[in-house]
Chains A and B, each alone.
Chain A
Amino acid sequence: DSGVTQTPKHLITATGQRVTLRCSPRSGDLSVYWYQQSLDQGLQFLIQYYNGEERAKGNILERFSAQQFPDLHSELNLSSLELGDSALYFCASSEQGTPGSPLHFGNGTRLTVT
């Protein structure tokens, strides 16, 4: 058990809808990362937060947004969903946001858009 909790585990929704994925980091970790895993693209970095502030942005679509709250949990919002958004979304956390701090991953949320 990594200590990172993601909810829900599975999500099935229709195109055009909006969903929210939730992540609670390991106790004491200040940095949260979101990754998307799909068969064709592999693991793609979406966004990083550190202590409530956005730290780095990757290949995140404009339809997607995220935030980290004062209690350090994070939410990833996906809107105007398309079939191609179907993927496994991982949250990870690290103690610091520094490059040498290993990331600890949750078990992911599997999103299916129909």
Chain B
Amino acid sequence: AQSVTQLDSQVPVFEEAPVELRCNYSSSVSVYLFWYVQYPNQGLQLLLKYLSGSTLVKGINGFEAEFNKSQTSFHLRKPSVHISDTAEYFCAVRGGNTPLVFGKGTRLSVIA
């Protein structure tokens, strides 16, 4: 079975500063990795995904993530955040025939 740990439940950051949201996963099989964003009163929106190939994955809204197999990590980064990036971010993993498993989420608060 797969599991996901998002190491920070809340991350405050000033506008235009860089941010990294950390995600570690556990799996005994090859995995596919995803980051989703949830804005208030909305559903989850796919930010980016890693299926195979290049370990650096670029997504929407200027976000990117790097897959590190040896460290079983898939951290999300953005070089300069905006107020509009304030939201809940979820890391998720799927492997084999198992369903998509989500982490507990990280609340990103961008401060003006």
Contact = CB atoms under 8 A, between A and B. Distances in A.
A42 B101 CA distance: 10
Interface in A1-51: 2, 4, 33, 42-43, 45, 48
Given A42-B105, A102-B34, A48 B99 contact: yes
Given A33-B100, A56-B99, A102-B34, A43 B90 contact: yes
Contact of B97 (A58, A99, A104, A106): A99
A107 interface: yes
11 contacts: A33-B100, A42-B104, A43-B90, A43-B102, A43-B105, A45-B100, A92-B44, A100-B51, A100-B94, A102-B46, A106-B43
A103 to B, nearest CB: 6
Q: Chain B interface: which size bin?
A: 20 to 34
A56 B45 CA distance: 22
Contacts, number: 49
A2 B43 contact: yes
Contact of A103 (B51, B96, B100): B100
A63 to B, nearest CB: 20
A64 B43 CA distance: 22
Nearest to A46: B99
A56 B43 contact: no
Interface in B58-112: 90, 94-105
B45 A99 contact: no
B104 to A, nearest CB: 5
A45 to B, nearest CB: 4
Given A99-B32, A99-B94, A2 B101 contact: no
Given A56-B97, A99-B97, A100-B49, 5 more contacts: A42-B105, A45-B100, A58-B99, A99-B32, A105-B45
Given A48-B99, A99-B96, A105 B32 contact: no
A51 B24 CA distance: 33
B42 interface: yes
A86 B103 CA distance: 20
Nearest to B46: A102
